[in-house]
Structure 1
Amino acid sequence: MTATRVRLVRLRTALLALTLAVLVVSLWAFQNVQNTAETVRDRTAHAVLEVTAARAALVAADAAAIASFASGEAKLAGPGQEYSNQLALASQSLARVAEFNQAGEEGGNALQVIESQVAAYSGSIGQADVHFRQPDAAVLGAVDLWHASRLLHAPGGVLEELDLLQGRQREALNRQLTSTGMSLAMLPLWLLPVLALLVLLVFTQLYLRKRFRRVANVPLLAATVLIAAIGVALVFTLVSRDRLDSVGERLDGVAAARAAQIKAADEDGQRRLAELLTGYCDEEQGCGVTVDGFRELARQAGTPATDNTRVATAGARAVAADASAAAESGGREFLIPAGTLLAGGLVLLGLHARIDEYRYRP
């Protein structure tokens, strides 16, 4: 076997080995990022958003019920249609959280506790409705309303549990983003096999041009173009991974807007509740230390002037748009394997004739 044939065989082996490395690394990178992006788009982002929606709906339901009882409308219409609508929205959001839950068993257990507390809250509101309709039981109705509101607001209540659950879902998103091991800072590392293969392809073509006096080796030139396209596809894959970080940032923005929205609605409802309770308290002894402390806090609270509903809604739409953009594959799931395998075939084709020329030479 001549030295030229040995060199050509070694070049072919090295080219095929690097082509295999490009295939493995590129597919691993794409599948890792794509799976994470699809999970974020289809489940995790929804889980975070639905928890915030459930909190907002429960606070709105509580404020609506208090307003109905405080105005006297409850004697005719009970807690009111707005209360029923918001409570139904909260139940729907909790059902979606259970469907999209990414916090594992811990999140599932928290949801069970929350759902039982919401059921107890609804029962207390229903009991308050019954008592307020009875002329001699309005005080009991006020007690039931107070108890219902405490089920939401007390330490360990529904709102605190939902806040903790929201944090767990957000932590799940952070774990998903960091588990990919992919970022633009890692781009040179993941492009290393592609760059090495491109360099070796160019070197091989220059060697063949010098050794065989040919202008160009068309199969190897086509393989070079395909591998360059694989490199571009990998760059776009990593860019889409980087977009997932913006999903997390936008989710935090939605959560902040929702928190401001919840705070405004909650303070308004709690002030109304404090005013309602005042009418049933003893003028000399008050309502007791706990209720009196609550009334003082409710009077001191200030309601923000900004309406954050529009901000939260726009932010939720932006989250969906960013998550969808990050999960858009652009056909890379076909380009990467097909292009790499085709490049390997072109390498074999491009070197076969040259190696075959030296098969029987001494």
Structure 2
Amino acid sequence: MEELYTLEKEVGRGSYGVVFEGHMAKSGQRVAIKRLPCSNPECIELYLQELWAMRATAKNHVNVIALHSCLLQTGPQSLKPLKPGKLPVSLVESVLKGSVVSAPQSQERNNAQANARRTTTSVSSLQDRTNTVQARGKLQDKTELSEPDSTTPQRPQNRARKRPAQREEDQPRTLRCLALWLVMEYCDGGDLNQYLLSRPPDAQHNHSVVRQLCSAVAFLHSLGITHRDLKPDNVLVCVTPKGPVIKVADFGLSKMSEGLVDGDLTRQHFSSTCGSDFYMAPEVWGGLTYTAQADIFSLGVMFWAVLERITFVEEGTTQEQLGAYVCKGRSGWLMPLGEALWENADLQLCIPMKFKRAPPLPPPPGPAMCSLLLDMLASNPDARPSAAQLEARVCSALREDSH
């Protein structure tokens, strides 16, 4: 590792891995280095999906996180670069078999105790599955924001979650491939929550964020990539003198589609219920098959929250997050938009929001943008614009509202 990269410090830790800040040994360029321990087939499948998607995007779009290289760890101090277009055979075999590939017996005995708490989970294939996939934890550095005041709506306790915890088995096994290391561009502005909520509202920056996200998702969909977990946590920010540069990241739940009919990604159907509660589309909440149009709904939730600075506090946390929702009942408990629209497809959303929010606030979106948001948040996926249509419509709506 030292010959190629220098690890400086840990900047983020989640349920699936650790991210370090580092530098390229030759150029000194700052990079983010994500270590993904290959402890069970389900995790390995997510890692391979992320690697495939990031290789497909390469460095071809300014608003999609760039992958510099991937390293394969086979021992405590054994790392080697993975050649472009190649995948570790042992990892693919682990996913296909639904159980991890073992190391030689001597190595297994030496490492058994250290790996006693690793888990294995069976999966049948690399294809999309009907079982639930646990959404990935945050891996980027989470700079703590100020604690929300009493006016900030909070997600109620004891809400049922859609994704079960991973199962443990009694006999964990050691892997030939201990971990994958992904070397990516470094984003110094944190995620979208951190960047926007740590600064006063800025309408120009908000409009720039919306435009850049449209461009990124249009690019991904043009390559046949459906992200399936678009949310502010998975959008990173690079701070530049000209303003924030947005980077869509975290492709562990993404799906790549081949053989599209006339290049139409909306005809490719998925069945795995995955994503994050406040950004999931109604059809995903309902357990129906869905298409890339679910990404458009997630974008709609994010755009509404960014443009009006709508926040909530997730249960078990004290950190504000950007996200739109519906208030239900006299107590005003929060329900994700997708869940509310699944229960009532005729629900009328009030855009811009009518109830009072704490200052400082940006100006509300204009009529053209409000109309577009309603289309993006339609309960019927076919009524939402495609990613290609959305990019043009966003620019047109913002231009129309500016007059």
Give TM-score, length-normalised by structure 1.
0.24
Structure with the bigger percentage of strand: 2
Structure with the bigger percentage of helix: 1
Query: Which structure exhibits the higher relative contact order, with contacts defined as CA atoms closer than 8 Å and separated by 6 or more residues?
Result: 1
Larger radius of gyration: 1
Give TM-score, length-normalised by structure 2.
0.22
